[in-house]
Chains A and B, each alone.
Chain A
């Protein structure tokens, strides 16, 4: 027992530290992403330097094979990662929450059918579904990648929404609302969404990280945003052949990717601890 009382405050402290670290990591990427809208060190497509130059005052991270500034590419990579994360999570949320609520309210057979479909979809890795969606579309571009990831994520969101909504739906106050004549749109808006929102938003944060990594994987495989869009995955892929002579080209996008993914996860963990009432009570 004494150990529990000893570790609890420490736990809480590390959690808030994690949250802070998450905010800082994600904040840096957001700041860089916003900065790219107004300022870049170089034109991203300009072949401003020599082949595979090392880091210097002119090129902080050196240049790639075509002599393009790597730091500029990395900055644009931040912007693309954020766009992909926000876009994919938004699409996933809209489709997923709608489907999940539909299943929760539906008759038994429709609910069963939807639940089975979602289970099948979730059985496939997110990346695989996204690859299928991209392959089915005519041309690969940033938006098709975002759409594909949104679709892939929506299954996970839908299943979570369905379970959470069902848990709320059996509550007495829902029965009370129903008997007092509230229609389902009102029940959803007033009772269900506010109740399940904290859990969903933590999940969205986790999915954000998933989407960023998945987009990098798609770009690495040549299925993401076409060149010259400087997605981290593409930078990584193009640097693969030169990893011995210019390792920064592979290390930089790797670090960027990991820092954003870890940042988002820390943020999600922290959010869960602040939002989730059961955890707060502990």
Chain B
């Protein structure tokens, strides 16, 4: 009779794999908490530098141009298309209930409350946030930040402060432009292509959209998103490993962390403001 070839399970290997998993989780958590701590300390060092920037508005204006103005094209084009898609989708649903006159309301509320601030923040993270991280990371790698420190110029004030403030300042404006262009995109499709009455489109919107509730909530959201995305972008650049791979990883982290932070914060802010 043949002997059984069944072997005992490799418990040692299983145990090692489980332990490896636990070690990895622990290490990851510790690294995450440490990085968050460093990011908070970094912010606490940068914030006192911001008032001094008012004495040097040129530094701030330069960054507003680079961070804000150069992001305008992508914001305007995206806003217009999102408004068009909203109107198209909204019309197809509303027409089933004979409520296509409410199309303007749907487009305006969706944009001002949610899509304007959120999509702008995501686009801002991808376009301006990644550029900020790469620029600061490269300055670190090529020792430009160290050289600045050696010339008794604080890079936190000269480099980081203007970029953080510019992001904070530009995001609400970009979100507002996104929403306005989106409304016109919705108007173009709804009124121009699908035949909704133009007066109804605007009057319903005017009656239903509350400035203090809907528009302000969007502005507050975009200010918070602007601050968080800019903070993440400048911190990741400043904290990046001074190698080309380090800059690449930091740029990716900026986009990923910013996007997740924006979506998570959007839920929190919506829950706080509308419930």
Are A and B interaction partners?
Answer: no
A contacts, CB < 8 Å to B: none
